[in-house]
Chains A and B, each alone.
Chain A
Amino acid sequence: MGVGRAPPPPARRLKSGAPMLHGSEWSFADLRHAYDLCAGHFSQLIDVPLYENQLEVIAAEQMLDAIAAVGLPVHYGHWSFGKSFLNSQRNYLAGHSPLAYEIVLNTRPAIAYLMETNTLAMQTLVIAHACFGHNAVFANNYLFKERSNADAILDYCVFARDYVRRCEERYGCDRVEEVLDAAHALQDHGVDRYRSPSRLDSKREREAQAERMRAAMAQNAQHAFASLRTTAPTESPLFAKPERFPAEPQDNILYFIEKHSPSLEPWQRELVRIVRKFAEYFHPQRFTKVLNEGFASFTHYTLLHALHEAGDISDAIFLETMESHTAVIRQTPYSELNPYALGFAVFRDLRRLCEHPEAEDFQYMPAVAGRELRSVLREAITDYRDDSFLLQFLSPRVVRDLKLFACSAPGEASHWTVDAVQDLEGFETVRSRLARHYQYEHVVPEIEVLDYARSNTRALTLRYRALGGRSLDTEAATRVMRHVKRLWNFPIRMLESDDSGAAGKLLLTV
């Protein structure tokens, strides 16, 4: 009969009758099947509500577009997105860096982009990681719930894009760009650090408010001229001792500019507001990086093990996913901490703490040791952000496993001093210092609006608090201040104060 082609291997079937996932090619039915399998195992792991998932299979160019526009499907036009597009495109085409396997958005429904070139194993991993791990954090973490409104963001994106476009048509690209550039420079200072913001408004409310703002501006102008004519000079605030304004220092500089800038037109205020709203939206992602990636990695690790044990995926798929997993949580010694590695280590240790606690754990981790894993996990992803999460859940065991050590050097010292190593004695030091590194003021310089001389020179005074003796990069700061000047149009000063907060020396003026 000659040489015949080998018959295709019979599809392996489970007891339930559903075929086992195998091979590297996938179909949409496979994706759906993988999703359903993951969903089953995830509900065994933890009991939290999830946002509905929307999985979108996209091609490489679309992934590049998505990365360039900070992941959002719709975004206003700005050259910085073009710059990041050119950058990632070149890196990708030159083979310097692979593209992300997935992007998942904190939206409702949670949109997850899957690359079409992923193998079936990767798709399974990515579904477990993004659609369950990240989704659970988005839907439950307090910071996300307080700061970013997943329901409204997509509508707001469309509103922002259209608004910016209309402004460009009306006032010209250059003027719009000037405001956006300036507002972008203050992006990190557009969030209330200690107060949770109001919910993101829907589009209609936004328009209504813009209308009110315009009306108020017009009215104010009339009043201003009226009072010029009628008010007696002695009554004028010009001659009164000016009150301090703002009464308390304000850390949300963008908000302050939006509300109080003496020179912005209403549409410019709206642009500042748009940038501020996006800064607010992205704020939680920045400060839950370890928590978020850690839980997502822990989720895909756990789910893939469960899938493999249940015989839902072939050995080959399991091994391929574990190889990717290992690459993701790789930690190079003596280099920056990989948030995936750190977060994963903590979450995996939570399982150990709950299921097989040791004597040491009852002493150092009394809040966790021996408790039910499901409730601990739920608590961990719901009530914490990176700094508090590490303070609460980093165990001596993880410090030992990752061999974390703390060293320090005063500004001028010629050497580092090792302050603590991975033993029980050094544990507290390592833990508290590590947590501090994830605090807002460690990452972003603490700069506040100290004073606005609104009754005379209209000068704005900012204050930088040099915590721990760290000084401000004045070269960069000068450039930022020039941007701020475009939004303010009156003199701006920057003071530097020490830890105590007493107003200190003058740092910069523009």
Chain B
Amino acid sequence: MSTLIDARQRGRDKSADNRARFLRRFRGLLRSKVADLARHRSIRDANQGAELELSPHDISEPRFRHRAGSGAQSKILPGNDRFTRGEHIARRPQGAAEGGSDPADGSAGDDPFRFVLTRDEYLGILFDDLELPRLLRTQQADITETRIRRAGYSRQGVPGTLAVPRTMKTSLARRTALSGALREQLRLARAELAAREAEAEAEAAVKAEAEAATEATARSASEATTKSASEATLNPASADALAPESERTTTLATDQPTNVAQRLRSRIAELERQLQHVPFLDELDLRYRAAVPFESPRTAAVMICLMDVSSSMDEDLKDIAKRFFLLLYLFLERKYDRVELVFIRHTEDAEECQEQEFFHGSKSGGTRVLAGLQKVAEVALRYPASHWNVYLAQASDGDAFGDDGTRSAQFLASTLRERLRFAVFLGVGNDENSTLARSYRAIADAGYLSMAHAANRDLVYPAFRALFLPTA
């Protein structure tokens, strides 16, 4: 008594719900882990999932249990090949293997609990307290470019763009259309011929039967004469009634139908010949993949990250800046097919560098913002505005000495701005009204620059959001 079921088609992913519950349960813990991860991870990796490690203790489910190693210990172990009664075995300090606590228990308890977050889960947790809204662009217009797009099929084209399935479809349609009438006629002619032949056969059979019947009647008639008269009168009468009738049909069937059948046969041959002349593939059938040009928004962007790395920018401030850059990067990546990153750091002078150095490398020296902006201008030349959307994100604690601030603002507004699609300045740290911020405010009011300030990590997102809110 048994049932055998192939359950492989049954729903999978039954644990997705419980997995989500697990993530929800440890949201707080995961958030701090993800935040840690975001601090150390490359900006570019933010777009992938992440493997997290949780301490088993943090996610354990407590139970009442005995304290390991307490009380009188007793063990039964297999494989004794050397000990005798009364012998002493030294106890290992940590109580492994031969004595003390269960070794399996200890090792399992210490292994970190690892699992992989998908990209969506990762971003979800990263922006959990930020709640990424539907972001709208305010200041920047799209640049367009002409691109080619598939647009159905055309009758003209080069062999390379031949759409074979489509061509075969057309061919099939044409063949069906051209040969449909012929096939129908052919079908009718064949059916008629078959009917005629069947009829002829039937008549031949009837005739044969009738002949046999006449013979039989003749025989029975001669017998009947010897018998009663009443019976004899009935039988010949029926035989007489049948005989002429069968003779008449036989003459009809033998004379006309042969001609009809022959005509039918030749007609069938003619139709078959005509059908063969319908070409399998005609030039009319050929279809090519058509392409039409269209205008599309440019889909490449470059994001230039400019940051003051002088000693006043400590790791915390850099972390704030990093979060801001990360947000902007993720935002741009949603808008553009390709986003390139350029990192420029500056103290008294500016240099292009790798991400690692950008965020974690330290450099000593004063601060000269203009040097940074000049470097940006130089880099921007590599990305002509006809092909690239250039974004500038500058982060600084706002130090600027002498006329550096004013000159920088001027340089940005007059020289640099026209090369940029969008420029943003993020002030970090406590001083919202720094020298540089004051200088920038004038050009920001004139619309050359967007400004934001984040004193601590929690303010990064609100600042970012404010930048991209539609100006109603």
User: Which residues of A are in contact with B by a Cβ distance under 8 Å?
Assistant: 28, 31-32, 35, 39, 50, 52-59, 61-62, 64-65, 68-69, 77-83, 85-87, 89-90, 109, 113, 116, 131, 173, 177, 181, 184-185, 187-189, 331-337, 341, 402-411, 413-422, 425-426, 430, 433-434, 436-437, 444-445, 447, 464, 466, 468-474, 476-477, 479-480, 483
Whether the Cβ atoms of A334 and B97 lie closer than 8 Å is yes
- A54-B5, A62-B8, A85-B18 as given contacts; A403 in contact with B78, CB under 8 Å: yes
Given A82-B15, A86-B22, A334-B79: A415 and B89 interface contact (C-beta under 8 Å): yes
Contacts A331-B78, A334-B79, A417-B88; A59 near B4 (Cβ below 8 A): no
Is B180 positioned at the interface, with any CB of A under 8 Å from its CB? no
- Interface contact tally, CB-CB below 8 A: 256
Contact B85–A55 (Cβ < 8 Å): no
Residues of A contacting B88 in the complex (Cβ-Cβ under 8 angstroms): 415-418
Q: Across the interface, which residues of B come within 8 angstroms of A426, CB to CB?
A: 85
Closest to A419 in B: B85
With A82-B21, A409-B99, A434-B76 as contacts: A418 and B65 at CB distance below 8 Å: no
Provided the pairs A52-B1, A54-B2, A334-B97 are in contact, do residues A406 and B76 lie with their beta carbons within 8 angstroms? yes
A96 to B68, CA, bound (A): 27
Closest to A53 in B: B2
- Comparing B111-119, B137-145, B215-223, B348-356, the segment that makes contact with chain A is B111-119
With A56-B5, A65-B14 known as contacts, the answer to whether A334 contacts B78 (CB < 8 A) is yes
Q: Are A85 and B12 in contact (CB under 8 A)?
A: no
Q: Which of A54, A418, A483 contacts B86 (CB 8 A)?
A: A418
Query: Would A418 and B73 count as touching, CB distance under 8 A?
Result: no
Q: Among B3, B19, B23, B75, point to the contact of A407 (Cβ < 8 A).
A: B75
Check if B24 is an interface residue, CB within 8 A of chain A. yes
Q: Please indicate the chain A residues that have their CB under 8 angstroms from the CB of B62 in the complex.
A: 185, 476-477, 479-480, 483
Which residue on chain B has the smallest CB distance to residue A187? B63
Q: Is the CB of A417 within 8 A of B68?
A: no
User: How near does chain B come to A129, taking the closest CB pair, in angstroms?
Assistant: 15
The answer to whether A404 touches B80 (Cβ under 8 A) is yes
A79 adjacent to B66 (CB under 8 Å):
no
Closest Cβ of chain B: how far from A104's Cβ, in Å? 13
Evaluate contact between A53 and B1: CB separation under 8 angstroms. Answer: yes
A-B contact sample (6 more), CB < 8 A, given A79-B21, A79-B26: A85-B15, A177-B25, A334-B97, A416-B90, A418-B84, A483-B62
Q: In the complex, what's the smallest C-beta–C-beta distance from A417 to chain B, in angstroms?
A: 6
Q: How large is the interface on B (under 10, 10 to 19, 20 to 34, 35 or more residues)?
A: 35 or more
CB-based contact A469/B71 at 8 Å: yes
Output the least CB separation between A345 and chain B (Å).
10
Contacts of A334 in B (CB 8 A): 77-79, 97-98
> Closest Cβ of chain A: how far from B67's Cβ, in Å?
4
Binary per-residue interface labels of chain B (317-333) against chain A in the complex, 1 for a CB within 8 Å, 0 otherwise: 00000000000000000
Once the chains bind, are A62 and B65 in contact (CB under 8 Å)? no
Which of chain B's residues have a CB closer than 8 A to the CB of A81?
15, 18, 21
Contact B63 A188 (CB under 8 A): yes
What CA separation (Å) do A83 and B72 show in the bound complex?
A: 35
- B51 to chain A minimum Cβ distance, whole angstroms, is 9
* Residue B337 interfacial (CB < 8 Å): no
Whether A85 touches B79, Cβ cut-off 8 Å, given contacts A421-B85, A444-B64, A476-B63, is no
**CB-CB under 8 A for A55 and B67, given A83-B22, A416-B88, A416-B91:** no
- Asked if B87 lies at the interface with its beta carbon under 8 angstroms from chain A, I say yes
From B4, B14, B76, B116, A55 is in contact (CB under 8 Å) with B4
Flag if B116 contacts A471 (CB, 8 Å): no
CB-CB contacts below 8 Å: B35-83 with A: 59, 61-81, 83
